[in-house]
Structure 1
C-alpha cells in the first residue's frame, strides 16, 4: 500500500508530538532520506527543549531566543496575560518567560483544538479547487440561510479582502463553513468556522506548521480559524482584526 507523502504540516506536528504512530513512522522514514529536513527538525527540537528549560528552571531567556521572545512579549498587553502569574523572575525575565510560554504553550499542552486540523485540510482543498478548471468556485453567501442551517455567523472580511469561494465541510462538531479569501496584497487565505459547545469568547492564538499558519478563537458558540501561508505573527495580527470585526 503506498504511503501518503509527508507534508510540512505533519513534520511540524511530529516535532510537537501530535502525530499517531503510523504517521510518526512515515515522517521518520522521510527524515532518514532527507538530511536537510532532518537537520531543520533537530534545530527546531533544540529550540523547544531550550524553551522548556527556561520554563522549568525559571531563568532568563537565552540570548539567541531574545528576538522571538520580544515579539511575543509586546503582545502580552493586548492579550491581557498577567506576568505576575510566573513567580521568581526579574521584570524582564518574567516577560521573556511569559513570551516563551506563549510560543510553546500549544506544543507543551497539546491543546490546539482538533478542528484546526480540519481547517488546515479544508484550506488545502480550497487551494486545489481554485487550481482545477472542473471545480467551479462559488463566492455567493446568504448569511441568514447559513445561520439558520448551521448556527454559524462569519466575521465580515477585512477591507481589501475578497471572498472567492464559499463551501460547507463536515467536521466532528457538525457542518463547518469555509471562506476562501484573496487579500489586497496577493495572499490566499481561508476562514473556517464550526459550532462548539463552549460559549466562551477567546482571543486568537496562532500556531505555525511549516509554511502554513493557523490562528484560532471562539465567539458565541462558534470556533473560528484563519489559515494562510505567512508567518504566525502576521496571521495573528490579521486574526485579531477579523475577530474584532462585525459578524454577519
Structure 2
C-alpha cells in the first residue's frame, strides 16, 4: 500500500520536485481522477507559459509575464489553503479523540512536540551573507563597496533586484558563488536608520512562492521566489518593524 496522494504531492509534481517512483504514483492517481488531472494540467500549462514569457523577457517584465505569474501563484496558493484546511481537519479530529480518551481513560503522559516548516537552504546563505556584511561595515581593513550599479549587476549575474524604496541607501554590494551560479548580497540602510540585507540567488528550481518569514537565534529573514530566482530580506532579530510586510512590497516591484 502506497502513501495517499495529497495536495503537497500535486504541488511538487507541478514543480518537478518528486523522485521517479513518487511521480509514477501521482500519475497513476491522476489517471483515475480526471478532474484533478485537468487542474494539474492547467497548472503545468500556466507554468510553461510563465517560463516561456520569462525566457523572452527584457529587463522589464511584460504584462503577459505578470499575468502568468499571478495565475500560477493563485493556483498554488489555493492548493496550499486547501491542504491547510485538510490538515487542520485531521488535527482537530485527533485532538477531539485525545480529549475523549483523556476523559474516559485518563491522561496518557504524552509530551508536547513543536514542529515548524524548515526554510530553504538559500535562507541560511542569506543570513550568513548578512552577518558577513555587518563584519565588513565594522572592519577597518575591509572597506565596503558603495559603488552600486543595478544594471551592471543584472548584466553580470542575470539577477534582477527589487526596486528599493525612496530614502534607502546601498551600503555595500557583493557577489558570492553558489551551486547554480552567482548570488548577490546588498547591504541596505533604511530611511529610519535600520540595517537590512537583500540576498538573491538561483536555488535550482522554478517556482512562484509567496513571502514567508523565519528566524534564527540572532536574525530574521523574509523569503520568497519568483521564477528561477529566490530572494531573502534579512534583519537582526532585535530590529523592530514588520520584515514580512517590507519584503512583500519589494516583491511586488518585480512583477
| TM superposition score category, shorter chain reference | 0.5 to 0.7
SS in structure 2 of the partner of residue 157 of structure 1? coil
Unaligned runs of 5+ in 1: 1-78, 94-102
Counting matched residue pairs gives: 154
User: What is the TM-score when the length of structure 2 is the normalising length?
Assistant: 0.53
Q: In the alignment, is the contact (CA less than 8 A) between 2:144 and 2:172 conserved in 1?
A: yes
SS in structure 1 of the partner of residue 130 of structure 2? helix
2:156 is matched with 149
CA RMSD of aligned residues (A): 2.7
Q: In the alignment, is the contact (CA less than 8 A) between 1:216 and 1:224 conserved in 2?
A: yes
1:45 is matched with none
- The one-character-per-residue Cα deviations of 1:167-187 (angstroms, maximum 9, x if unpaired) are 111223321101100112221
Matching of residue 84 in structure 1 with residue 91 in structure 2:
no
Unaligned runs of 5+ in 2: 1-76, 96-113
Change (3 A) 1:104 1:188: farther
Give the greater-gyration-radius structure (CA). 2
Matching of residue 170 in structure 1 with residue 171 in structure 2:
no
1:197 is matched with 204
Deviation at 1:202, TM superposition (A): 1.1
1:241 is matched with 249
Partners in 1 of 2:193 and 2:240 — Cα distance?
17
Match of 1:131 among 115, 129, 138: 138
Q: In the alignment, is the contact (CA less than 8 A) between 2:148 and 2:170 conserved in 1?
A: no
Out of 184-193 and 156-165, give the one that drifted further.
156-165
Change (3 A) 1:84 1:169: same
SS in structure 1 of the partner of residue 232 of structure 2? strand
